[in-house]
Structure 1
Amino acid sequence: MAGHSKWANIKHRKGAQDAIRGKIFAKFSKEIMVAAARGGGDIETNPALRMVVSKARAKSMPKANIEKAIAKATGASKEGADFKEVIYSGTLAGGVTFLVICLTDNMNRVVSNIQSLFKKAGGQVGKQGSIPYVFDQKGILEIEKNNIDEEELMMFALENGADDFKSENEFYEIYCEPSNFLNLKNALDQQYNFEYKTAEVTYIPNQEIALDEEKTKKLLEHIEKFEDDEDVQEVFHNMDLSILSDVEEE
């Protein structure tokens, strides 16, 4: 779950897909349990749960897995109730910034592990809980183009809370403020009944750092090490990955 990043697509092409999907679904399960334990298991009355379920469905998490996670959190054991969200950021080689979102039930463990991971990556941890200025929090909905009329979709999205609309290769990307995300998605669902490639509130870099191919790949390897940590939910970065696309096309 490397955030909204082309690197996620690169990994899915090159990695063992079942293992990657299993790891992603396990992280979604934890996030779902936390939301359900805190606000109840009804997605209609729990906006936080509705948001994470929406994100999980967009990544094809099976309905049975989602229901199982909700059941765990709302049962007698209340799994997920003790987890706390912790945010770390740090600067690495070439001025690249990492933003690391954690869910943990052991603060000593997560502090030690994150500090170690940043050190091994040649970076330094910033102030806990702060969001670096190079990231904006945005809602994003990615929709496969198919036969959708672009102008009609753009106008409908803008009228229902979107603040930006982009046409990329095979997808339309719709952006909004986090507070507008659920209302915008509900409006799109009622009008079009889309299946989304991405449907989430996430962090998007407002400026990117271009490194050479070797350094880019090295930092992406470090991202995978962060993601392998049991407490890490998502990792965001502001690397320009176009150099990898160029390499693949050659």
Structure 2
Amino acid sequence: MSGHSKWSSIKHKKGINDAKRANVFTKIARMIAIGAREGGGDLAVNFKLKMLVDKARSVNMPKDNIERAIKRGTGELKDGAIIEEVIYEAYGPSQEAMLIKVATDNKNRTFGEVRNILTKNGGKIVTAGAISYMFNQVGEIEISVKEADKEDVEMKLIESGAEDFSLEDNTAWVYTKLSELKIVKENLERENFQILNAQPSYVATQKKEITEAEREKYENLLEKLDENDDVVEIYDDLK
């Protein structure tokens, strides 16, 4: 099951400079607005919203930005069209299966922009259902792992309810049933793990390998997609 969203990977790989920070804030603010619209603005009862606010805080998003995004979602602040979540299905330049999640206030504009980025970088949009059946929706929790804890981290993750996990440097990605995301997150917190991010995710049922040259082309596509403010997550079938 292992594999994590490419949005997270890009951020860890390159860090967040000042120019990128505004792009990140915009993406998270749009997801917060969606979360607040779907489940209300109370973090105590809206777990999805709480996860998004935690994510915003982890990248030092200003409190005013967070509160404004929540109010936009609940309708207390009326400053534009309703933001909607859409998932596009696509193939990358080497037939990588991709799910591209966007948060947009103009679906026609965003579809055109994403399609153009894919076309210019060897990819293509495909019809709904052509890719999605290759993925399962799961819960994904990203945690920080101290070097000294690595020997017994596997047992702690299993005891916390993880169905699968992957470890890279000092970060672990923990996977759960979507319905168990909240309780596993709470279990990990009780084990004193630092939660970096928690969210619903998509994991490919089968993984494929590509060459280094193909990966370079694909990562260039990911960078171009990530530059678009509407693109919030990207999932694929790569090992």
TM-score (normalizing by structure 2): 0.80
Q: Go from structure 1 to structure 2 and tell me whether the alpha carbon gap of 1:72 and 1:95 turns closer, same or farther (over 3 Å shift).
A: closer
1 CA distance for matches of 2:61 and 2:193? 16
Q: Which residue of 2 aligns with 1:178?
A: 178
* Matched letter for residue 148 of structure 1: D
Instruction: Give the paired residue count.
Output: 233
Q: Which residue of 2 aligns with 1:83?
A: 83
Contact 2:97 2:131 in 1 (8 A): no
Q: How big is the shift at 1:118? A: 2.3
Q: Which residue of 2 aligns with 1:10?
A: 13
* Matched letter for residue 218 of structure 2: L
Q: How big is the shift at 1:62? A: 4.5
Give unpaired runs (5+ residues) of structure 2: none
Moved more, 36-45 or 113-122: 113-122
**Deviations 1:145-199 (Å, cap 9, x if unpaired)?**
2243753x5444434432124444323332211211111112222x144332333
Contact 1:86 1:128 in 2 (8 A): no
Q: Go from structure 1 to structure 2 and tell me whether the alpha carbon gap of 1:60 and 1:177 turns closer, same or farther (over 3 Å shift).
A: farther
1 CA distance for matches of 2:101 and 2:73? 21
Q: Go from structure 1 to structure 2 and tell me whether the alpha carbon gap of 1:19 and 1:129 turns closer, same or farther (over 3 Å shift).
A: farther
Give unpaired runs (5+ residues) of structure 1: 241-250
Q: Go from structure 1 to structure 2 and tell me whether the alpha carbon gap of 1:203 and 1:183 turns closer, same or farther (over 3 Å shift).
A: same
Q: Which residue of 1 aligns with 2:207?
A: 207
Q: Which residue of 2 aligns with 1:40?
A: 40
2 CA distance for matches of 1:149 and 1:209? 27
1 CA distance for matches of 2:130 and 2:105? 20
Contact 2:141 2:195 in 1 (8 A): yes
* Matched letter for residue 164 of structure 1: D
What are the equivalent positions in structure 2 for 1:102-113 lying under 5 Å apart? 102-113=102-113
Q: Which residue of 2 aligns with 1:98?
A: 98
Q: How big is the shift at 1:95? A: 1.9
TM-score (normalizing by structure 1): 0.77
Contact 1:102 1:231 in 2 (8 A): yes
2 CA distance for matches of 1:129 and 1:62? 38
Q: Which residue of 2 aligns with 1:53?
A: 53
